[in-house]
Structure 1
Amino acid sequence: MSEFLDLQAVCEESNIAHPSNVMYCLADHAGMPGLHRQLVHRGLSWASLFETTTEQAALSAAPLLFALPSPDDETKEGFMCWLAEHGTYTSSILLLSSPFGLDELCSQLARRMHARITDGMDVLLRYFDPRVFESLLAVLDEQQASTFLSPADCWWYPDRSGKLICRQSVCGIDAFVSPLQLAAEQEFAMIDASEIDVVEGRLRGMFPDLAIRVNVAERELFLRRHMAAAHAAGIESTNDMTLYCGLAVIHGEHFADSSPWREILAKVRGNSAVFSKEVLAYEEQL
């Protein structure tokens, strides 16, 4: 069994459910270096949600929309394997089944990148990142979600563990009004949901071999487990939470039960110490 997504199976299932639709991929080029080269090499049409451009600097961070090759396309197998290998664990792809043509769909999706948060601030909504997409769907009310998802009959995204999640929708007249208005509680909920990604990003900076130390498919549960333990110990700052998870990477799952970490955490839990300062003081004694 492959460790990567079976995109061909998803396409076949979608074709049965929506035979007149086209299966598209919306990919974050920033998370999949080489994607544009693959599309050009295989002669696949694409469009950028940041406006179609041939300027490489703009393309490097652009969300690119393209139709997946048809089953009888000779380029299909190699490209689909490449896409699965580079998209399963990089939080870089959304799949959607839609009756719209490439340009029309691109236009509808591009308008959904614009959001307005508290104090009337306009922001870029990076929903083409599956982590953002997932947290967005969790905070939108039923009507907002229905309207936001209306360009397609079905959406798929890989979660942080590489499992493909399906979200059904009803494709119809596009009633979406840009920018998407997010209430303060929706905004804050999305910020809270992103904390795990901030911690993971900092851990990758600390441990270039993190993928070897903690299997990518198990990393989300590893982080959630130790972030919860850090919270329970009275650790609140993202920096200290990253440090806690980093110690778990170095010293193992149960490091907090052994000395000196047990004693340090007891001080933090009693509000008499800051975790990072205590760890630094301990290391300076070594």
Structure 2
Amino acid sequence: MTETASLFATAQSLNAQVYVLGDPAQVKDLPGALLFKSGRAICLLDGEAEVEAVAPHLIRIDAANYQRAGEWLNQHAARAPCATVLISPTSLEVLASHLRSFVDVMLPDRTIMALAFWDPNILAALNGARGDDTLHVRGPVFVPAQTHAFLAPILQWWYWDRNGRLQQLNGGQDSVPEPAPSIKTPLLLDQHQVDALVEASVPDNILHFIRLNMPGLLLRVPEPEQYPFVRSQIVRARLYNIEGTGDLVNYCCLALAYGESFDKQPDVAILLEQVKARVLTFENLMNEFPRDIPEVGNPLPIHPVTE
């Protein structure tokens, strides 16, 4: 029995329904790929057809389609952050309404922001997942009352991590609490929570800019290792007080070009210590970077990224 089939069997043992929260912005075949003949889906965002085409959908998976749905999920959701699996005894309409109420959150300055919990990595950071060592921010970002309210009608919530392994959110339960915890929505996030959510996306943002500006450098690292490589280099860059998207992108590009321990090269180490002491900007370091350090692999020109 596959892991997905085991999840579906668990739902049946709990007399619950299986749902998939699918993101067509990641895999455009959603939600249609999981609707089959008897399936139904509800979009979580309001808007015109062009918005709905890339908006998350809650999809009900009927027992008759468990095998087909499981095969699709095993093939796609384990490779791209496009879908998570929910087990709940509530109806499609009730669950979709509940999730919709958490789409918008309020920031400390009272502005409204969309909370992209359909992204497995944001979802896991919000609620915590004890077994997932691929998370940049382990969480939970939510305080207990927020977690209880968010997960109230959900018995189990599963997602695939960056290594394609199924992970369960903290807070799985065998029955829905009665009465369900009540909390005012939109949720009000404090600055610490906002900072944690921003941080959760930093490695992906850095990777995105490297792919846009210096895609050839990433060819030096196998794709499954690119995220952990960038994540580790962000940690090293911050030891030298290097912050800001542009500087972090450039630091990671140097690590890709000259090796992950390029900062230990004597001439580079001197410059980085000056950056750490804030007597030299990282932009100036890029201009003064020693030209006699051998690159890893075939040399490629580095075009510094500016914010």
| Alignment pair present for 1:94 and 2:89 | no
The Cα RMSD (Å) is 3.0
User: Using the alignment, how far apart are the partners of 1:163 and 1:214 within structure 2?
Assistant: 21
Equivalence for 1:10: 7
| Alignment pair present for 1:163 and 2:165 | yes
Residues 262-286 of structure 1: per-residue CA shift (max 9 Å, x gap): 4432332332222233214449999
| Alignment pair present for 1:106 and 2:87 | no
- The answer to whether the 8 Å contact 1:97/1:154 transfers is yes
The alpha-carbon deviation at position 152 of structure 1 amounts to 0.6
- The answer to whether the 8 Å contact 1:117/1:183 transfers is yes
Q: Which amino acid aligns with 1:275?
A: F
- The answer to whether the 8 Å contact 2:87/2:156 transfers is yes
Equivalence for 1:146: 148
| Alignment pair present for 1:193 and 2:200 | yes
Structure 1, unmatched stretches of 5+, are: none
Instruction: Find the residue that maps to 2:25 and give its secondary structure.
Output: helix
Q: What aligned pairs does 1:1-286 form with structure 2 within 5 A after superposition?
A: 6-16=3-13, 18=14, 20-39=15-34, 44-51=39-46, 56-70=49-63, 72-73=64-65, 76-77=67-68, 79-137=69-127, 138-167=140-169, 168-169=172-173, 171-172=176-177, 173-174=179-180, 175-208=182-215, 213-258=220-265, 261-282=268-289
Instruction: Find the residue that maps to 2:31 and give its secondary structure.
Output: helix
Equivalence for 2:135: none
Q: Which amino acid aligns with 1:149?
A: L
The alpha-carbon deviation at position 243 of structure 1 amounts to 1.4
User: Using the alignment, how far apart are the partners of 2:258 and 2:291 within structure 1?
Assistant: 18
The aligned length equals 275
The alpha-carbon deviation at position 110 of structure 1 amounts to 0.8
Residues 112-152 of structure 1: per-residue CA shift (max 9 Å, x gap): 11211112212211111122212222122212211111121
CA change 1:212–1:162 in 2 (3 A) is farther
CA change 1:236–1:36 in 2 (3 A) is same
Q: Which amino acid aligns with 2:8?
A: C
User: Using the alignment, how far apart are the partners of 1:251 and 1:105 within structure 2?
Assistant: 50
The alignment's TM-score, normalised by the length of structure 1, stands at 0.82
Of all paired residues, the percent bearing the same amino acid is: 25
User: Using the alignment, how far apart are the partners of 1:30 and 1:210 within structure 2?
Assistant: 26
The alpha-carbon deviation at position 161 of structure 1 amounts to 3.6
CA change 1:233–1:119 in 2 (3 A) is closer
- The answer to whether the 8 Å contact 2:255/2:261 transfers is yes
The alpha-carbon deviation at position 237 of structure 1 amounts to 1.9
CA change 1:176–1:66 in 2 (3 A) is farther
User: Using the alignment, how far apart are the partners of 1:33 and 1:197 within structure 2?
Assistant: 20
Residues 192-218 of structure 1: per-residue CA shift (max 9 Å, x gap): 333223222222323546875444443
Equivalence for 2:298: none
